[in-house]
Amino acid sequence: MTQAQESVVTRERFDSGLTYDAWMKHIQRNIPKFEFNYVQTTVPADTVAALKALSEKDGGPVRLLVLGEDWCPDVFRGLPVLQRMAEAAGWDFRAFPRDENLDIMGEFLKHGEHQSIPTAVFYTKDHQYITHWSERPSKADAEMGEVGKLFEDLDAEKDRKEMRRRYDEFQQGPIWGSWRDATIEEITTLLQEKCA
């Protein structure tokens, strides 16, 4: 985001976003996957302490805006993680459907060009922008090849049901779970750097 331009995310716009409960009532797809990832996410006690300490600092994070869509695997994994972090730190959480809020998305493009989701934007209590984070942790980027290996022996046209079954199973497994943990670690480190 270019700091010189005025953000479309005013305090009022932020406040108009969906709480996590409202998001869950709003979405139409993948509700069990959102619920699974929420239940499976635990913020470690030392990370909770670190996040709370950051939030208590002048210029620390206390407001979290998240852009997402319910069809996206990175969102149904990552958005519940962000909610768990918000709960742990005491942040005010607001979610916005990306496709209905492209003006917000336009301010927080990944690498200045991609509408990647989820995108998490952190603000101070005075609604000053701190930083933002997009899509998935670098650990997940490095391990995305594991997903392709699930389908090496299958035909994309003939074996669609089996591909879906294997992918659903993968989303409940240890690699996927490690990506939730890596999200917490990566965002915590980013905030510590930005709020130092």
DSSP-assigned states of every residue in the chain = --TTSPPS--HHHHHTSBPHHHHHHH--S-HHHHHHHHHH----HHHHHHHHHHHHSTT---EEEEEE-TT-HHHHHHHHHHHHHHHHHT-EEEEEEGGG-HHHHHHS-BTTTB--SSEEEEE-TT--EEEEEESS-HHHHHHTHHHHHTTTTS-TTT-HHHHHHHHHHHTTSHHHHHHHHHHHHHHHHHHHHHT-
Is 66 within a domain? yes
Is 148 within a domain? yes
Is 165 within a domain? yes
Kindly report the CATH number assigned to the domain that includes residue 132. Answer: 3.40.30.10
Query: What is the pTM (predicted TM-score) of this model?
Result: 0.94
Is 61 within a domain? yes
Q: What is the pLDDT of residue 109?
A: 94
Residues belonging to the chain: 196
Is 161 within a domain? yes
**pLDDT per position in the chain (196 positions), as tens?**
444 468 999 999 999 999 999 999 999 999 999 999 999 999 999 999 999 999 999 999 999 999 999 999 999 999 999 999 999 999 999 999 999 999 999 999 999 999 999 999 999 999 999 999 999 999 999 998 888 888 999 888 899 999 999 999 999 999 999 999 999 999 999 999 999 8
Domain that holds residue 29: 11-194
Is 59 within a domain? yes
* Number of domains comprising the chain: 1
